[in-house]
Amino acid sequence: MKHTPFTLEDIAILMDQKLQPIKDDLSLVRTDLSKVKEVVEREFKLIRQDIQRVEGKIDLLDQQVAESGEYYEERFTKLEKRTGVSV
């Protein structure tokens, strides 16, 4: 059996040294992905808030249109009775 000049501990240290840049890169990637996730979640939250705001405005407009329709319907009915002309 041929002896190697390196012990298992030496080989482990060398492997750790070679793998450290990869570990560092993976750590950076994890950090970047975490930041991206935070930004995406924040943007979706803002989008949901905007959608709720728009839906609220649509509901208000629907209500105003309904009230206006009732108001003018009453006026048209009175006008029809007065003039005999169907509007």
**Can you tell me the distance from the alpha carbon of 12 to that of 41, in angstroms, rounded to the nearest whole number?**
41
**Can you tell me the distance from the alpha carbon of 54 to that of 46, in angstroms, rounded to the nearest whole number?**
12
**Can you tell me the distance from the alpha carbon of 12 to that of 39, in angstroms, rounded to the nearest whole number?**
39
Structure tokens at 55: 């839906």
**Can you tell me the distance from the alpha carbon of 34 to that of 27, in angstroms, rounded to the nearest whole number?**
11
pLDDT tens per residue across span 28-85: 999 999 999 999 999 999 999 999 999 999 999 999 999 998 888 888 888 888 888 8
pTM given for the model: 0.58
**Can you tell me the distance from the alpha carbon of 62 to that of 69, in angstroms, rounded to the nearest whole number?**
10
